[in-house]
Amino acid sequence: MSFQSLGLSEALLKAVSKKGYTTPSPIQQKAIPPVLDGKDVLASAQTGTGKTAGFTLPLLHILSENPKEKYRPIRALILTPTRELAAQVYANVREYSEFLNLRSAVIFGGVNQKPQVSTIRQGVDILVATPGRLLDLQNQGLLSLKRVEIFVLDEADRMLDMGFLRDIEKVIKSMPEKRQNLMFSATFSKDIKKLAHGILNNPVQVEATPENTTVEAISQKVYRVAKGLKTGLIIKLISEGNWKQVLVFNRTKHGANKLCEKMIKAGITAAAIHGNKSQGARTKALAGFKTGKVRVLVATDIAARGLDIPLLPHVINFELPNISEDYVHRIGRTGRAGASGEAISLVSADETSFLRAIEKLIEMKLPVEIVEGFEPDPNASTAPIKQGQGRQNRNSRNSNKSRNSSRNPQSNRTGNSRRPKRSNDRRN
């Protein structure tokens, strides 16, 4: 199937070909036609599937077909859970609309609102926003959603995870009832279905499995190591392997900072990305990582969500997540689009129970290695470490379900119906 056959305008086809895309991804093939038909769509897709173009291309097509007004009201609203995702979606909107007479803007918290307000004042057709800043500006009377024709809720499951349900409801109340709705989510819990039911009108359901992100497609390895030797081991692995683009996961912000400092001391360019970092610092770290200036990006699970970094050769779990599904998400960032990927976990004695829970979820035993000089401590306690960041351990709750779960990260998460609300993480 070609992009031409999807019925997109010449201007959009030109933008798509400028991006170098030749074939629409499965989610694009499935989602674009019903969106162009004006239908509501409920899509099961996560980052890496090409979902952003899946909703942006038809949305731009529809908006550009209608005659433009002199004064541009916001006609499309794309709501995303995190600043990073908002920035990435906006970058995509800009690229795809390059040859169209449409204006767009992005708003999110953590930065001065003035430039955002002044852009909106000049009139924008498409607004990409995180809920916090959107409601903030709305409450100040600085923007109106009364003319919205298309509403996109991106990463709806993350929205709920981050406690944005009330905000979403408020946003919905401020839009006209008659509008087209598109909802994207990686998982379909009871709560998501309820939300979808409240937002969508007779939706067309589409689904896409990301290419090559099945657990089997990723080469996985566990290094058993004493807790105190982890930093030395990770530096050795990265240096000796001459690894160039490594995403390292850490459970805590403090841990991420500390590890980053140590890597830099060892001569490895590294940057940390987490909720306590300013927006500028996060954008800079991500840009440096993408261009290759920064070899190692140390991230917390929440900060890593929505990061658009395709084709990662190496993912390292400096610490295992206490939530097994997060492991699948983390390693899903490697081995994308046919490229080979490697996921490594450094596991100390106190993480043994996390390892067991992960193996149970993915239904496979992970190969274990020990590096000379970085052996595990035989006297260390196997009592689990305290859980970080106020997150509940779902492993025990999910243990029955996990036995039946598929090895695909997407479907692994499908059965995960109740995720804890993380009110602390509302940093948008």
Looking only at residues 309 through 368 of this chain, which bind ligand AMP when binding is defined by CB under 6 A?
310
How far, in Å, CA of 79 to CA of 73, rounded? Answer: 17
Closest to 23 in 3D by CA, of 425, 337, 384: 337
Instruction: Assess 152 for contact with ligand AMP (CB under 6 A).
Output: no
Closest distance between ligand AMP and the C-beta of residue 338, in Å?
A: 11
How far, in Å, CA of 303 to CA of 325, rounded? Answer: 16
How far, in Å, CA of 127 to CA of 102, rounded? Answer: 11
Closest distance between ligand AMP and the C-beta of residue 316, in Å?
A: 22
For residue 27, what are the CA distances in angstroms to 21, 46, 49, 64? 14, 10, 7, 22
Closest distance between ligand AMP and the C-beta of residue 21, in Å?
A: 4
For residue 106, what are the CA distances in angstroms to 94, 150, 193, 345? 10, 16, 28, 36
Specify burial of residue 385 (Cβ count, 10 A radius: 0-12, 13-18, 19+).
middle
Closest distance between ligand AMP and the C-beta of residue 339, in Å?
A: 12
Closest distance between ligand AMP and the C-beta of residue 157, in Å?
A: 15
How far, in Å, CA of 142 to CA of 134, rounded? Answer: 10
Cβ atoms within 10 A of the Cβ of 257, count? 16
Q: Of the candidates 29, 44, 52, 317, which one interacts with ligand AMP according to CB under 6 A?
A: 52
DSSP 276: T
Considering only 46-54, 63-71, 124-132, 218-226, which stretch makes contact with ligand AMP by CB under 6 A? Answer: 46-54
Instruction: Assess 25 for contact with ligand AMP (CB under 6 A).
Output: yes
Q: Of the candidates 51, 83, 251, 253, which one interacts with ligand AMP according to CB under 6 A?
A: 51
Instruction: Assess 64 for contact with ligand AMP (CB under 6 A).
Output: no
Considering only 18-26, 71-79, 172-180, 399-407, which stretch makes contact with ligand AMP by CB under 6 A? Answer: 18-26
Instruction: Assess 50 for contact with ligand AMP (CB under 6 A).
Output: yes
33 vs 384 by CB, closer to ligand AMP: 33
50 vs 341 by CB, closer to ligand AMP: 50
Q: Of the candidates 8, 42, 43, 53, which one interacts with ligand AMP according to CB under 6 A?
A: 53
Instruction: Assess 213 for contact with ligand AMP (CB under 6 A).
Output: no
Instruction: Assess 49 for contact with ligand AMP (CB under 6 A).
Output: yes
Place of tokens 């492993």: 395
Instruction: Assess 130 for contact with ligand AMP (CB under 6 A).
Output: no
How long a stretch of residues is the chain?
428
Instruction: Report the alpha-carbon angle 62-211-316, nearest 5.
Output: 120
Read off the tokens for 41: 């769509």
Looking only at residues 283 through 312 of this chain, which bind ligand AMP when binding is defined by CB under 6 A?
308, 310
Instruction: Assess 48 for contact with ligand AMP (CB under 6 A).
Output: yes
How far, in Å, CA of 274 to CA of 257, rounded? Answer: 9
16 vs 294 by CB, closer to ligand AMP: 16
Residues that bind ligand AMP in the complex, under the rule CB under 6 A: 21, 23-25, 28, 47-53, 308, 310
